[in-house]
Structure 1
Amino acid sequence: MVAFRGPKVWLWRWRRNPLKRRSDRLESWVVLAAWALTVCGGVIAGLLSAESVESGLARQRAEWHPTAALLTQDAPEPSATSGPGAEKVWAKVRWTAPDGSERQGQARVEPATLMGTQVTVWTDTEGRLVTKPASESQARLRAGLVGGLAGMCVAAVPYVGGRLVRGRLERRRMDQWDEEWALIGPLWARKTW
């Protein structure tokens, strides 16, 4: 059997009530502040993080470019441990940087490619090897995931803080009731006959 609780009263924490204690008023403001900071802080942090990630990935797409490189050694066969789905292997390559200097490094290439074969690698503005930049759809997905995670982490701080403050207020209220009951309880035990 469900107990009758009556109709739900909106904003009951801020209504006048002669039985409302100071701690009840404080708790109402703690709840309001915690929820406001949780929602606003989480949304703002999520949006700013997503925008930062998306602009960084857009900058990479603009600055990083494909460069022709030559294999300086034969690319190895895919190993049995890499599994049948392994598409590329590491091999040494040589390319020319924008300043005209020769550079060497390792890049992922097709398995069993012969030395001297021209491959495409991605380099930054200084000629260093980089990974292929994320496409626009990949960038949106990454930005959304990072923004969502950052928003949840930031929102957790005021939420947990509000819960801790409310728990402390509740413990304090219970202690006050225990003190009052210690004073009043013995008076009820007296016999009047």
Structure 2
Amino acid sequence: MRAISGLWRWRHNPLRRGTDLVEAWVALVALLLVLVGAPVIGCLVGSVAQDALQRSVREQLHARHPVTATVVRGLSRLDPDPEISPARDLRSRVLAQWTAPDGTRRHGPVTTGLGSPHPGDHFTLWTDAHGDAVTRPLDSATATTHAVLAGCGAAALAAGLVEGIRRLIVWRLVRRRYARWDQAWDRAGPDWGRTGTGS
């Protein structure tokens, strides 16, 4: 709003310098780019990220299969990191056996969400087509959240870039204005204000 009022105020002012008008126009263009351009960029980036992530979700769901695994024996308990996971998120390493999607029997050490596993306990394990244990596939809601965050980040980055360019232009204009003032002072000379006093 300051940009618009600045343009209107300087429109017919006889004290207006060229740099004042340029500064007001730069502020107005930057405001429009931040209010319109940054959200458009954010939407475009978010849309592209959403498409890519949802495609990845479909590919992972197609390539990964849930199977039921059985605990043979516990190996170790993994304490959760208190900074990134809640205390109730207990994980354990166990020796388990499961049947791969191709029908072969598999066994090996895996991580499970069972807090205190006992031999014979069952849990869901994600495997690839060969029966090797893999991480759980990305779900659609998490993919959407990542896409929204990417769009918001792109919009914020675009707005910051516009503001940085605006500040750089204004800084250059102020330097030019000061240089012109210095030139005007040099033309006035060291006796400015004392002309004709005989000094």
Same fold (TM over 0.5): yes
1:116 deviation in Å? 5.1
Q: Which residue of 2 aligns with 1:32?
A: 28
- Contact 1:105-1:129 at 8 Å conserved across structures: no
Say which of 88, 95, 101 aligns to 1:85. Answer: 88
Distance in structure 2 (CA, Å) of the matches to 1:156 and 1:109: 42
Gaps of 5+ in 1: 1-7
Secondary structure of the residue that 1:146 maps to in structure 2? helix
- 2:71 touches 2:122 (CA, 8 Å); kept in 1? yes
Is 2:136 the partner of 1:131?
yes
TM-score by length of 2: 0.67
Which letter maps to 1:129? Answer: V
Q: How many residues align?
A: 185
Partner Cα distance (1:93, 1:48) in 2: 45
CA contact (8 A) 2:79 2:91 kept: no
Per-residue deviation, 1:170: 0.6
User: Which of 119, 143, 148 matches 1:144?
Assistant: 148
Aligned equivalents of 2:107 and 2:173: distance in 1? 65
Instruction: Kindly indicate whether residue 24 of structure 2 is the aligned counterpart of residue 21 of structure 1.
Output: no
Query: Which runs of structure 1 show a deviation greater than 6 angstroms over 4 or more consecutive aligned residues?
Result: 80-83
Q: Give deviations 1:23-47, integer Å, cap 9, x for gaps.
A: 3343344333333333334212322
Task: Write the mapping of 1:90-101 to structure 2, written as runs, cut at 5 A.
Answer: 90-98=93-101
Matches within 5 A, 1:34-49: 34-49=30-45
**CA shift at 1:57, angstroms?**
4.5
RMSD over aligned Cα, in angstroms?
3.8
More deviation, 65-74/94-103: 94-103
Task: Kindly provide the CA deviation profile for residues 100-156 of structure 1, in whole angstroms up to 9, marking residues without a partner as x.
Answer: 5658563333033234543202346776612353353x5444433332222112221
C-alpha separation between the residues in 2 aligned to 1:71 and 1:19?
84
Corresponding residue for residue 67 of structure 2: 67
SS in 2 for 1:112: coil
| Aligned mates of 2:31, 2:182 — CA distance in 1 | 30
* 8 Å Cα contact 1:13-1:28 kept in structure 2: no
Give the Cα–Cα distance (whole angstroms) in 2 for the partners of residues 52 and 126 of structure 1: 32
TM, length-normalised to structure 1: 0.69
From the superposition, tell whether residues 156 and 79 of structure 1 become closer, same or farther in structure 2 (CA, over 3 Å): closer
Cα separation, 1, equivalents of 2:19 and 2:81? 64
